[in-house]
Each structure stands twice: as C-alpha cells, then as structure tokens.
Structure 1
Amino acid sequence: MTKSERLMQLEQLLLAHPSGLRRSEIARRLGVHRATVARYVTELTGFLPLNEGDDGRIGINRDDYLSNIRLTIHESLALYLAGRLMTDRTDRFNPHAAAALRKLGQSLRAFAPTIGQHISDAADRVESSKTRRDPVYLAVLETLTKGWSEGRLVSLVHHSVHSGLDKTYLFAVYTIVPYAVGQSIQAIGKCPGEEHLRTLRVDRIAQATLTNDTYTPPVEEDMTRTLADAWGIWYSDSDPVDVVLRFSVQVAHRVRETVWHPSQEMTDLPDGRLLWRARIAEPREMFPWIRGWGADVEVMEPAELRQRMAAEAEVLTSIYHTI
C-alpha cells in the first residue's frame, strides 16, 4: 500500500470514529509503527482539520471538515431545488444554506455558467432576505446536527406552548426535517428510557448542549416506516385512519395534479367532482390543508374531522355574517 493510500485510509478511519483514536490504536489498525502514525498525522494536519484531545485521542473536527462529492448537472439541480425549498419554507436565516448554494453555484460555472450564476445569485438573495437572524436558533440547530452526526445525546431546554413551561431533556436526535406548517424545522428523536418518539420544534429550544453520552440511532428504514402514514410529521402507534374528501369541479383538476400522500386513491365522480381517499396516521394534521381549500372540499370521513370542519364553518359564518 502506498503512502497516499495510507493517508486516505487514516482519514476514513478517523471519520468512522467521531470520538477519535489514540496513536497506538491507529498504529494497530493501520499495521504501522507509532512513529509512522505521528508523521501521517503531521502531514494530514496540513489539509484536514485534525485535533487532539487531552486524553490523546486524535479526531477530525466535523464542523470544519469539507466533504468532496461529484455531481451531474441534474443532481446539482436537485440539490439546488431542495435548498431553495428549505430556505423558502423556514422563516429564520441559515448561513449554511446560503454557503452551500454558493459553493454549488461556483462548482457549476465551468461547464454550466448560466445555471451556476443563477444558483450563486440565489445564495445572495438568501443572505439578503429579511428572514430573522436568530443566533440562538442557529446554535441550537448546529448542536442538534452535531449530536445526530456523532450519535451523542443533547441536553436541551424546550419551551412547551401547551404548559407554558420550559422543560429540560436529554435527547437523542433520530432525524431533522423541515415542516411547512409554521415554516419550521423539527427534530424527531427519543429521550433515554422513554418508549415513544418526541417531536421538538427547533425554534422553541432555548438552549442545547452536546454531551459525551452516546446512543445508537435507528436505521433509516425504521424512521421511514414510522413516518410512512404521517401527513407530515405526526405519527401514531395506532392503525392509520381512512380520510375521504370530496372536491368540487372547480378544483378537481388541481387535486389530480399532485400526489399528496403515498396512499392516496382518486375516483372521478359522474358530476365532475373528485373523491379523494388516503390512510393517514393522524388526520388532525391535515386540518390546515383541508381548510385551505375552503368551500371546494367536503370531509366525508372520518366523522371527527367532519365535525371539526362543520364547527369551523359555523364560527366563520358568525364572523362574516352581515344583516
């Protein structure tokens, strides 16, 4: 094995061990002398953000580590669209999103200058937008991201809007997702010793501190299965509920254009209306979306959701009623 291959092997080894490795352990794994490891570490320090702790463990500072990826023009566009969607759907400024878009734009300028310039301009718009600058929010998001990437528990203080109280948790981050409702980002995970998942809105977390306690995150398939029946992020241990909606002729074509949920089924009715059906973990999460269609949708099932819409209609009638 060549020296370059050894250096690459050392980089991959350190990436695989977020808590770092001692020189003796590195030497054993690479099959080289400790003096050789010392030389390798010195050389890698020139182009990798290495650090050495008080306990002698050598690791990579993941906040400053740059990953190298190779993308096609179509893959680059997919990342650009995802980044724009995230920034458009959250109301707080994220400098990392702007930086990522700028890097993506610069990388494309050589062979797709028009698209590269467009993406770079988008990064400028993100930075100059009037979204809120919230350093606490950003620090919390960075801490949650680091805890998730390194499998370390996060100690956090979360404000509950229901009780009005601040509560302290030890939290294992399983995933972080954007959520259109409230233009927010949500952290989903568990507190040690609890059976059920928790979903915490990131902008309601007042403080987050990374601990040295570790956890084993679930495999992606488990999280996908957990959220499979959710309308967004609300999940349930119970069986999903059949939701049946009837859309008017005026909006039927718009409903047909989109796959709103993986389980949806649509039936064209003889009068031009559309019957839409899906199995949803928690139908209450659909309420803002259903309400957005106004009088062009009627809830057929479940009864509880129909009753809630009927009550909403009565309130609206009382507000807008004129003699």
Structure 2
Amino acid sequence: MARAGHNRTDVLSADFEKHDRTLRLMRELVLFQAIPHGLTSREVAERMGISQRQAQRDIKALEAELEVPFQQIGARWKVLEGYWLGPVSFSVHEAMAMLLSARLMLRFADRYNGFATAAYEKVASVLPAPMKGPVMEAVDMMAGRPADNGYMKVLASLTAAWAERRKVVVTYTTEDTFERVLWPLFLEPNATGHSCYLLAWDPKRQAVRSYKLERISNVRLLEERFDPPLGFSVDRHLAHAWGIWTSQQPVDVILRFDQSVSRRVRETVWHPSQRLEELPDGGVRVRLLVAEPTEIRHWILGWGRTCVVEAPESLRDAIAEEAAAMARSYSSGAVAQPPAGPARDGLVSPQPGRRVG
C-alpha cells in the first residue's frame, strides 16, 4: 500500500519499503546494481531487513516479473552483464533538462513507477545541491503514488521485448478480451488520461496499432525476433495525432480565438502543423491538420467561449451540442447539497482562501 507524507534522508524509509512490494523490488534491483559481483539471498535479506525466504521470493519476482536476467553462481545471484547501461555524464545545463523532465513525469504519473524513481534518484545523486532538492522532492511524490504491480510487470515485459526486438503475445481487453501476437515498436506516453500506449505491428491487421498499457493484463515474450516494418518512423506515424490516434486522412481544423486569450495562444506551439493568422479584432485564427478531431474536443471545450470552431462542420456541431448540453445542466437548478457539518466521510470543509483538490 503506497503512503504519502513520508520523510526522506538519502534513501526511502525502510518501513515504507517493507509495506510496498514494488518499492522493495526496485530497491533490491538498485542493490544488485551497486554490487556487480552479486549477493546471496541471506545478504539481500540482511540489507533489506526482510527474511531470507522473502528475499528468495523477491529474486524470483525480479526475474519473472521485471525480466531481470540473473545468473546463479553457487549461493550468489548476480545480474548478467549487458543488463545495465553504461555510465552517462551530464553538464549542469543537461542536468537542468533532466530536472524539468522529472517535474513533467511527476505531473504525468498517476501510479508508482519504480523505474522512473530509480532513474531520477541516480540523476539526483550527481546534481549540485540546489538542483538535487527539487528532483528528490519529485521522486518522493512519485514514490507516494499508488502501486500497481500488474502494470509494472506489463511495462517491464514490453520494455524488454522492445529493446530485444522480441515478439510478444498480449492479453488485451476492450469490450472483449483477446490474445494477439504483436511486434513492440515504441512506448508513447499520453497526457490525456495519464496513460501510456504501446505502438506495435499487428501481423493480423497488417498495420501499426496502438494499445493502451492499462488494458493489457498479460505479456508473454516469445523467442522469435522481428525487424521493424520497412520505413516505420514514430514521428511520421504520430505526425498528425493530437494525442495518440492516427489516420491516413488527417482533417483540417480551423479555430478562432478572441483577443482575451490570443497572447496565450501565440505563446505555445500546440501542434507541429499549426499555422497562425492575426485577426483585425486582435484575435487569432489557428489552423491545424489533425488525424482525429475527436481527440481535440476536450482541449477546445477547455477554452470556453473564447474559442470557436470554424471547421470542420462536424466538429463545430459536436462542440455546439456539448455546450448546449452543459448549459442545460447548469440551468436545471438540480444541484446536490452536501450534508451539513464540518466533516463528512473524512473530508474536511475547505477553509477560506485555501485551495482544495
């Protein structure tokens, strides 16, 4: 069970690790990296403050769930050479880029990702003190996210398959649950829904498809290797995607923003295809070439009345219909009133001037 509000010295609290299996496994992985000649299960147990039997189970879990390649030499376990990447050096300016990526990861991640926290801990260990603190704060907050062992196992297996170009069999659920042989080509994060997608060649459909990791319940690595489809490029594949959806026939989307937000619109490159046109009234017209306009609907609605869809007509109608439905919801007067009292089901009423949520 992941718990927030923990304190940190140089490592995560031992008590916190004991109560979170995923955190413990990641700490053990870092331990094996620090001792290349390997460890016995008794040594792992002593360093982690767990029983030797638990240490033996953890080593098996690292091997089976996180695809860590172990070699057993007598009673000693060591990670095979080649699993760890070579050392990397950063300049201060390059380290700043890593700090920013840690903050972005913190905003993106809605669950604990042991690989990410371990990576940022390593980055923080070589940073100047003023930069180290914010990275470790981000690591602490990421460590407090809810753990999802199933998701971590899927992520680890797909990462290994992608790196080794091995075919996989995944169990995938949408309306139905099915198995599919796939060739992993890339893992793409998507801020919408705080999700991650596998881009993979689907031999059955003879096309590259996207698969949401949260909908994959099992991954089985095959010994058979693959070569990526000739000419495949992640950038070209996602060139017109607003998020993750792709299409062979992208759609021209034209939006008009009024003067009150035009400066904010100009400040950001929202999509690689965007073209801006200044309007006489101080507003700005934005032209986009988007694979699937459905993906952009929530972003448009987020601008409220300051953004109007000029094209395509189908998107304009969809936004207008949604806005009308929202207006009806707000004008109905049917607002649920919370029970009276300072605390309800463990929730404390907000204090004046204090932001809640």
TM-score of Structure 1 vs Structure 2, range by shorter chain: 0.7 to 0.9
- Map 1:86-105 onto structure 2 (within 5 A): 86-105=105-124
For 1:188, what is the secondary structure of its paired residue? strand
Q: What is the rounded CA distance, in whole Å, between the counterparts of 2:219 and 2:81 in structure 1? A: 19
The answer to whether residue 164 in structure 2 is matched with residue 154 in structure 1 is no
Q: What is the rounded CA distance, in whole Å, between the counterparts of 1:297 and 1:268 in structure 2? A: 14
Corresponding residue for residue 179 of structure 2: 168
The answer to whether residue 300 in structure 2 is matched with residue 284 in structure 1 is no
How far apart are 1:212 and its partner, in Å?
A: 0.9
Instruction: Note the residue ranges of structure 1 that are not aligned, 5 or more in a row.
Output: 1-44, 53-58
Cα deviation, 1:13-32, whole Å, max 9, x if unaligned, reads: xxxxxxxxxxxxxxxxxxxx
Relative distance call for 1:67 and 1:136 in structure 2 (3 A) is: same
Q: What is the rounded CA distance, in whole Å, between the counterparts of 2:231 and 2:157 in structure 1? A: 21
Corresponding residue for residue 207 of structure 1: 218
- Map 1:49-64 onto structure 2 (within 5 A): 51=71, 60=80, 64=83
Q: What is the rounded CA distance, in whole Å, between the counterparts of 2:247 and 2:285 in structure 1? A: 25
Q: What is the rounded CA distance, in whole Å, between the counterparts of 1:176 and 1:302 in structure 2? A: 31
For 1:132, what is the secondary structure of its paired residue? coil
Contact 1:93–1:133 (Cα < 8 Å) also in 2: yes
Deviates more, 1:292-301 or 1:80-89: 80-89
Q: What is the rounded CA distance, in whole Å, between the counterparts of 1:115 and 1:315 in structure 2? A: 48
Contact 1:174–1:218 (Cα < 8 Å) also in 2: no
The answer to whether residue 263 in structure 2 is matched with residue 253 in structure 1 is yes
For 1:74, what is the secondary structure of its paired residue? helix
Corresponding residue for residue 65 of structure 1: 84
Corresponding residue for residue 25 of structure 1: none
Corresponding residue for residue 341 of structure 2: none
- Map 1:262-277 onto structure 2 (within 5 A): 262-277=272-287
- Flag as ranges the 4+ runs of structure 1 deviating above 6 A: none
RMSD: 2.3
Match for 1:224 among 224, 229, 235? 235
How far apart are 1:60 and its partner, in Å?
A: 4.5
TM-score (normalised: structure 2): 0.68
Q: What is the rounded CA distance, in whole Å, between the counterparts of 1:182 and 1:192 in structure 2? A: 28
TM-score (normalised: structure 1): 0.75
Contact 2:109–2:142 (Cα < 8 Å) also in 1: no
Cα deviation, 1:240-275, whole Å, max 9, x if unaligned, reads: 211100112221111111000111111121112111
Contact 1:83–1:101 (Cα < 8 Å) also in 2: yes
Deviates more, 1:151-160 or 1:220-229: 220-229
How far apart are 1:81 and its partner, in Å?
A: 1.8
Deviates more, 1:170-179 or 1:74-83: 74-83
For 1:228, what is the secondary structure of its paired residue? coil
Contact 1:157–1:167 (Cα < 8 Å) also in 2: yes
Q: What is the rounded CA distance, in whole Å, between the counterparts of 1:83 and 1:249 in structure 2? A: 34
Q: What is the rounded CA distance, in whole Å, between the counterparts of 2:212 and 2:237 in structure 1? A: 18
In structure 1, give the amino acid aligned to 2:134.
Answer: H
- Map 1:6-17 onto structure 2 (within 5 A): none
For 1:116, what is the secondary structure of its paired residue? helix
How far apart are 1:294 and its partner, in Å?
A: 1.3
Corresponding residue for residue 32 of structure 2: none
Corresponding residue for residue 76 of structure 1: 95
Deviates more, 1:141-150 or 1:305-314: 305-314
In structure 2, give the amino acid aligned to 1:159.
Answer: T
The answer to whether residue 137 in structure 2 is matched with residue 121 in structure 1 is yes
Contact 1:188–1:198 (Cα < 8 Å) also in 2: yes
Aligned-pair identity in percent equals: 34
Q: What is the rounded CA distance, in whole Å, between the counterparts of 2:237 and 2:146 in structure 1? A: 32
Cα deviation, 1:72-113, whole Å, max 9, x if unaligned, reads: 1122221232233123213111011111111101012xxx22
Q: What is the rounded CA distance, in whole Å, between the counterparts of 1:105 and 1:216 in structure 2? A: 36
Q: What is the rounded CA distance, in whole Å, between the counterparts of 2:151 and 2:214 in structure 1? A: 6
Contact 1:106–1:117 (Cα < 8 Å) also in 2: no
Query: Aligned residue pairs: how many?
Result: 262
Match for 2:151 among 123, 137, 151? 137
Q: What is the rounded CA distance, in whole Å, between the counterparts of 2:86 and 2:198 in structure 1? A: 24
How far apart are 1:220 and its partner, in Å?
A: 8.6
Instruction: Note the residue ranges of structure 2 that are not aligned, 5 or more in a row.
Output: 1-35, 39-68, 73-78, 334-357
How far apart are 1:117 and its partner, in Å?
A: 3.2
Q: What is the rounded CA distance, in whole Å, between the counterparts of 2:171 and 2:99 in structure 1? A: 33
In structure 1, give the amino acid aligned to 2:214.
Answer: D
